[in-house]
Amino acid sequence: MGKHLSLRVLVPWQRLVDELTIPGIEPILWHINDDPNNAPTADVLVTERPSNPELRSRVSRIKGLKHVQLLSIEYEWVLEHLPERVSLTNSKGAVDDATAEHCLALVLASVHRLPQIGQQQRERQWTRTWTGSLHGSKVVLLGAGGVGSEIRSRLLPFKPAELTTFARTERVHEQGYPIYSLDRLWAFLPAADVVIVALPHTGETEQLIDAKFLSAMKDGSLLVNVGRGPIVDTDALLPELQSGRLHAALDVTDPEPLPANHALWSAPNCITTPHMAGDTAQFISLVSELAVDQVIAFAHGEELTNRIIN
């Protein structure tokens, strides 16, 4: 890039335009999901994941593109649309707290039967209801990355009787607790009161939560998914919910977005939120700060954090 040229950067929010209006950088407001016009020529794309899957391919048609900075941890959606020799980074570390907080909200709402109590409130029924509790429960946590670690730290103050973490690689966490490999979870699964999924979507985790897995969960237990929708076999989960044997709280689903006529909407014992775990004001501040730092580093040829593709 010549000294007289500016780095052209597509950004989705006016805040990023304002913060990147600095010498050597030309921010251009363009949102992959909302802008009806094709993207102008640009060196860098800072983007959210399009809510409409059909718009994801717009990434492949940006002329001059050299780098993509994602405003999320999730990156799988963009891989097939990323042109050759275009580098990719994500926002690992910025979304972890928000996702963990949402996960805890789903767990507590489910364990304490808040949807049921809410319905009783609407019907003006004063009916005392006995519920479960995290205190004294056995929790299986699938995922030991940034999100999984933050979920674990938030669960501990609620005094679960057991909190066991599993991931693809067996190891000891830097905080000293063991992380078991996924193939060892079968010894823990039948006794678990709560199973939390915070794994990435890979070939290994595709439909990991299948009929066999679900049948191994004990009656009345809770499945929470804040990882990726395809990790759970929806067709296998639905009969378990409809029979009342299991409970679920899902921030991600398969398919996604969930069609209006899908059976999950009306499934009993199920809370579904629209992939919103990271959608907080604090998250916006954190990913914006990270995106600005990444763009400035790219403009100066400095090393970027959270590299997915070099």
CA 292 to chain centroid: 22
Sheet with 7-11, strands from edge to edge, namely 25-29, 7-11, 44-47, 67-70, 87-89, 307-309
Tell me how far apart the alpha carbons of residues 69 and 54 are, in angstroms, rounded to a whole number.
20
275 tagged catalytic: yes
Active-site residue (options: 49, 102, 152, 228): 228
Q: What is the DSSP string of 36-62?
A: -SPPPP-SEEEEPPPSSGGGGGGGGG-
Contacts of 10-19 with C-beta under 8 Å, sequence gap 24+, read: 10/39, 10/40, 10/42, 10/44, 10/45, 10/46, 10/47, 10/62, 11/46, 11/291, 12/46, 12/47, 12/48, 12/71, 13/284, 13/288, 15/284, 15/288, 16/46, 16/288, 16/291, 16/292, 19/288, 19/292
54 tagged catalytic: no
219, burial (CB in 10 Å: exposed 0-12, middle 13-18, buried 19+): exposed
Active-site residue (options: 256, 289, 300, 302): 256
Tell me how far apart the alpha carbons of residues 138 and 22 are, in angstroms, rounded to a whole number.
52
174 tagged catalytic: no
Active-site residue (options: 275, 300, 302, 303): 275
Q: Catalogue the active-site residues.
A: 228, 256, 275
